[in-house]
Structure 1
Amino acid sequence: MSVCDVTLLCNYPKCRTKLSGFAWVTACSHAFCDQHGSGEFSRSPAICPACSSALSGKLDIVRTELSPSEEYKAMVLAGLRPDIVLDISARALAFWSYQVHQERMYQEYSFSRAAVRLKQLEKMLSQQNQSRELELTAMRGEIASQKKVMEEYKRQYGEVSERLMERNRQYQKLRGLYDSLRLRSMVVGERERPTQPGHHDYNTGLARQAIPQRSPQFLSLGLDGDSRFFSCLEADGAKTFFQFSSPAQD
């Protein structure tokens, strides 16, 4: 990149914009944009915002056009002796050289600050990575211990399950024996129990009724009286009927 391609920047610390149009130039070789130059140099006494130098002279601050017209360039140095023209040109080139050097120094300073910041960030990142590695190692150890505990629980659960199944098998076996013994005792008890009239058989659920004796046949009474009623009874049946039906005599 040639020298002509270099663009001056505003020397105001918080601006750093490219200069175009009009710029404020100071005797301490600093240049400012039109906005900050008008604001800073309107006060008295004027102080350079870049180096804090007092600018009390009449020509210590100049507002110049960065892209002058052809007429201005033709007349600004006209009539001056060559040594004066060369002196003015040398001073202008010195101002330009100082601005380029200052910009290079500023870029180097910014780069050094960025490098320091980068080293700090790398150090912090390395510390964080180390702490994360330690935490990860601790978590891996905890996971391994938890896996061992889980395996032990699985083994204990398998043993308990096997014992439970064995107890269930024993219980089913004892339950079968109990049911068979209970059924056998019920059958033996039914065989030994005497059969009585009117006794209810719980095994079959049938009530055994005693066979009744033959009852006398009653005929309807006619108009003749009670003689026909007693004549229809058998001898034994009538006797039995009156014996159990008549009230006792004193």
Structure 2
Amino acid sequence: MEHALTCNNLKCRRELSERALVTTCSHIFCMECAQRLGVNGQEADRRNTCPACHSQLTNPDDAVITNLNPSEDYKTSVLSGLSPNVIMECAGRALSFWAYQTTQDIYYQQYLYKTLTDKYSNLSVRLEKTVNDANSEIEGLHHKLSSLAAEQDALRRKNDEISRAYKDKSRKVLQLQELYDKVKRKAELGQIQRAASDAVDSTFQTTQMDSGYEINLPTQIHAENIPLPDFSQSHRIDISGMNTGLSRNYTSDTSEAPVGGLRRSGINTTSVHQTATLPTLAGTPIPSFGGTRQSTNMFAPGFSHHRGSLAGVGLTSGIKVSQANNPPALDMPSRHL
């Protein structure tokens, strides 16, 4: 296969097959480049230099258009009539032109090869550097991934431990909450009982005061300062000072039930904080000149009448007041002076 000539314009480098412009400086151009560069013009001022080597093209035959595929008739007549020396000289110059174009094309290919080789080398170096950087980065990422995996395992174990601890704490909190609810319910029940006891005591005192019979119920705080009334075991009243208008003294034995049916349920009688003052008896003194025995109703008119309303339980003071079916009669003999 024959070597095809190419346009000597470095920006074109098109293969020539039909027609081309040939110069005496052994350069060849395609028709498009010749027209664009002005080499094929007939005026001498327009084709004074070669576009490839910048040689002067002053003569009309320095740049001619040739047919690269001549016909058989052209081949027969182009050298006809010329002497063998001229024919050999023309053939030698034509061969020199062909050899020059081939050599220039080889140089161009070598230059192109060298340029591409340099680019390839640079690209290879850059590629190797990029690959090394990528491998280093991949290795670093592998190490980082391994450390992150180990950290994840540690965090998972820590999370499991925290979860178990949280469950234990939650269970303990639930137990404490249940215990707190029980204590709170007990406290609320105690407050309700105390409130009910206070309400019952208040109602009891109000009822007795409205009925004309007052019972002093001391509180536990001041119980130590309140003296106990003195009643004898026989429930008899000392009337030695009745005729003289002096105050009467009552003695009582706490081992038996007090007068008026006042009892204490479930309370130890020796406790000072749970003692209560027995009802005070009101009456009129016996005149000193009388000789007859008077009834006990004269000394305590309100006691026997309102004694039936004392039934009830004092929850705060611990006193149980009940109505006796057969209350003991007060034996109070009058003394004749």
Q: TM-score, normalised by structure 1?
A: 0.67
Q: CA RMSD of the aligned region, Å?
A: 2.9
Residue in 1 aligned with 2:33? 36
The number of equivalent residue pairs is 196
The alpha-carbon distance between structure 1 residues 95 and 187, as it changes in their structure 2 partners (threshold 3 A), is same
Residue in 2 aligned with 1:93? 95
Q: Secondary structure at the match of 1:136?
A: helix
Structure 2 distance, partners of 1:170, 1:129, is: 59
Structure 1 distance, partners of 2:46, 2:172, is: 111
Letter in 1 for 2:132: Q
Q: Secondary structure at the match of 2:171?
A: helix
1:14 CA drift (Å): 0.9
Residue in 1 aligned with 2:236? none
After the TM superposition, which of the residue ranges 10-19 and 30-39 deviates more from structure 2? 30-39
Residue in 2 aligned with 1:247? none
Residue in 2 aligned with 1:15? 12
Which structure 1 residue ranges, 5 or more long, are not aligned? 200-250
Q: Secondary structure at the match of 1:94?
A: helix
Structure 2 distance, partners of 1:131, 1:112, is: 28
Structure 2 distance, partners of 1:86, 1:59, is: 20
The alpha-carbon distance between structure 1 residues 189 and 126, as it changes in their structure 2 partners (threshold 3 A), is same
Residue in 2 aligned with 1:118? 120
Letter in 2 for 1:102: Q
Letter in 2 for 1:29: S
Structure 2 distance, partners of 1:189, 1:87, is: 143
The alpha-carbon distance between structure 1 residues 196 and 38, as it changes in their structure 2 partners (threshold 3 A), is closer
Letter in 2 for 1:122: S
Structure 1 distance, partners of 2:6, 2:19, is: 12
Q: Which of 130, 133, 144 is the aligned partner of 2:132?
A: 130
Q: Which has the higher helix share?
A: 1
Q: Secondary structure at the match of 2:60?
A: coil
Q: Secondary structure at the match of 1:106?
A: helix
Residue in 1 aligned with 2:297? none
After the TM superposition, which of the residue ranges 143-152 and 87-96 deviates more from structure 2? 143-152
Q: Secondary structure at the match of 2:64?
A: strand
Q: Which of 100, 108, 118 is the aligned partner of 1:106?
A: 108
Residue in 2 aligned with 1:67? 69
1:25 aligns with 2:27: no
Q: Which deviations, in whole Å up to 9, do the C-alpha atoms of 1:66-122 show, x marking residues without a partner?
A: 222333222221111222212211211221122122212211221111111111111
Q: Which deviations, in whole Å up to 9, do the C-alpha atoms of 1:189-248 show, x marking residues without a partner?
A: 759x76969x9xxxxxxxxxxxxxxxxxxxxxxxxxxxxxxxxxxxxxxxxxxxxxxxxx
Q: TM-score, normalised by structure 2?
A: 0.51
Structure 2 distance, partners of 1:128, 1:14, is: 34
Letter in 2 for 1:27: T
Identity over aligned residues, as a percent?
31
Which structure 2 residue ranges, 5 or more long, are not aligned? 204-337
1:181 CA drift (Å): 4.6
Q: Which protein has greater RCO, CA pairs closer than 8 Å, 6+ apart?
A: 2
Letter in 2 for 1:26: T
Structure 1 distance, partners of 2:175, 2:68, is: 113
1:6 CA drift (Å): 2.4
The alpha-carbon distance between structure 1 residues 25 and 182, as it changes in their structure 2 partners (threshold 3 A), is closer
Structure 2 distance, partners of 1:174, 1:72, is: 122
Q: For the pair shown, which has the larger CA radius of gyration, 1 or 2?
A: 2
Residue in 2 aligned with 1:171? 173
